[in-house]
Structures are given as structure tokens and as C-alpha cells.
Amino acid sequence: MLKFNGEIFTMERFLEGKGALITGGASGFGKGVAFEYAKRGADLVLVDINENMLEETSKLIETETKQKVIPITCDVSQANQVKKMSKQAFEELDNIFILFNNAGIGPGYGKDILKVDEKIWNSTIDVNLKGQWLVSKFICRNMRKQSFEPLAGKVIHTSSDMGMVVDITVPVYCISKAGIITLMQLLAKTLAPKIAVNAISPGYHVTGIYANSEETMVKTMKIGNVKTPLNRVGTVEDIVNIALFLASSASNFITGHNFVIDGGIVEVGVPANYLKTDF
């Protein structure tokens, strides 16, 4: 049930009895979304490569919300680890209604596509693109068999503005995030009508990917000549709000869609990032 509470709509405990699996759950968007899903009654599996941060986040959410929070350390780019993690996740929770497929890295800043190292290409594509494919592959096989109606489950992939408006200072990141939009569309068609699959594309939000520093992020935006039409930087809360909507029944007729949450950078058409190269 949607309830109006002050400035925003809250959906109190609409996830009671539902399980949510969140990758990259130790930090940033994953942590923020995990907290809010748990507050609405979801039990959680949090997946991350950073074991210490994962333990800390899981304990914090469990203590504050009294929901079940299962931490599973896993590198999402490794098929054997993802397979094992998925098996454990379905043993720990009796359902996974929501998959927030979100873990990602943003390495290799400052080199254009002609200069980028093969190592950066491999690690970025492996974590950001192959990782989300592997997690959906192993989780959705069981998710589609669940008996929830009208949808057996919901998947949210994390892409980026940079999957649509390229930033030549992070070329492989852009390619990985453009790939996520195609992956999401393929999964939406493949898994219909049982599972709704959508993507979110954040703009510039202060998280671990910017060392949790607004200064670092704003510097990056200045170098790239990025201006936000709504004239502020993004927050984790901006992403939490769309993740709540996509987990709720209010979005039940939406699949295959990429939600751009960036204060208007892509949609209003602020110039794409550029880098002055030496040729």
C-alpha cells in the first residue's frame, strides 16, 4: 500500500516475506538500498568482494532493522564463486524476490580508448558486465520458479549515464555499462512474463567509487565539463527511491526499461565528457 508521508511516498513493510539479494551490498548504492529494503520487511543476502566491509554493513543493518541479513563474500566475476553463492543464497532465504545486480568498479581513469591497458579492459568487463550476467544467470533460474503472483521476481541492473553518453576518460567503463543495457533488455525478453527486469543509470553520486569524497567527484565532473541541469550532485537516496519503486507493485507493468537518474545530464543533453588528447 502506498502511503503519503510528508514529502515522499513510503511503502511501509511492503517487502514482508520477500527476500532480496544485493551485489555490491557492502557500500554505496547497495548498502543504501539494502537498508531501505530491510526497513520494509525484506530479509537480505548481501554479496560483496570486500569481506570486512560486508561483515560490518550486514551487522549494522541486522541490528538496526531486526531483519535476517546473510553476508556472502564472492567475486561476481568468477563463475564458480557465483554458482556457489547462488546455491547458498537460496538455502539461506526461502525466496529471492528482488535481485539488485549492482556490484561494479570504475578503474582506469584518464586513458582514452587507444591507450587503455588490456588488464583494465579485462578486469572492468569481467566485473561490470560478465559479473552482472553471471549473477542473473544463476539467480534467475530459481527465481522464475517461485510462486509469487503476478511476478515471480524482479531484477534491477545497475548501468550508468556513461553507458549512453560516453566519457572518453573511462572508455572501458562506458562499454561495460552500455553492455548492461543490452543485457537487461535480453533478460527482460527471456524472462517475461515471470520476471520483470529493468536497469537504473545513475549520474554522479558520492559513493565508494569516488572514494566517498564529493570533492573528488566534483573535480572529475569539472575535468569532463559535466553540468547537471537540476544543479546538484546525486545522492544515494536518489537511487534508493527508484530501487524502492522497482521493488514495489507500483512498477509491475514495467520491464526492459532503463531508468536514468542523473538530474538531467543525459536526457536534457548536456555536452558529453571530453578529454583534450595529445593528438
Nearer residue to ligand NAD within complex by CB, 90 or 210: 210
For residues 56 and 60, what is the distance between their CA atoms, to the nearest angstrom?
6
- Closest CB 195 distance from ligand NAD, rounded Å: 20
Nearer residue to ligand NAD within complex by CB, 146 or 220: 220
Q: Kindly list the residues in this chain that would bind ligand NAD in the complex (CB under 6 A).
A: 23-24, 26-30, 48-50, 74-77, 102-106, 127, 131, 158, 160, 202, 204-205, 207-209
- Closest CB 246 distance from ligand NAD, rounded Å: 15
Nearer residue to ligand NAD within complex by CB, 74 or 188: 74
- Closest CB 261 distance from ligand NAD, rounded Å: 9
For residues 28 and 239, what is the distance between their CA atoms, to the nearest angstrom?
10
- Closest CB 77 distance from ligand NAD, rounded Å: 5
For residues 255 and 199, what is the distance between their CA atoms, to the nearest angstrom?
9
Smallest CA-to-CA distance from 45 within 168, 164, 138 is with: 138
Q: What is the DSSP letter of 251?
A: G
Q: Which three cell numbers stand for residue 155?
A: 531484477
Nearer residue to ligand NAD within complex by CB, 49 or 93: 49
For residues 148 and 141, what is the distance between their CA atoms, to the nearest angstrom?
15
For residues 178 and 161, what is the distance between their CA atoms, to the nearest angstrom?
9
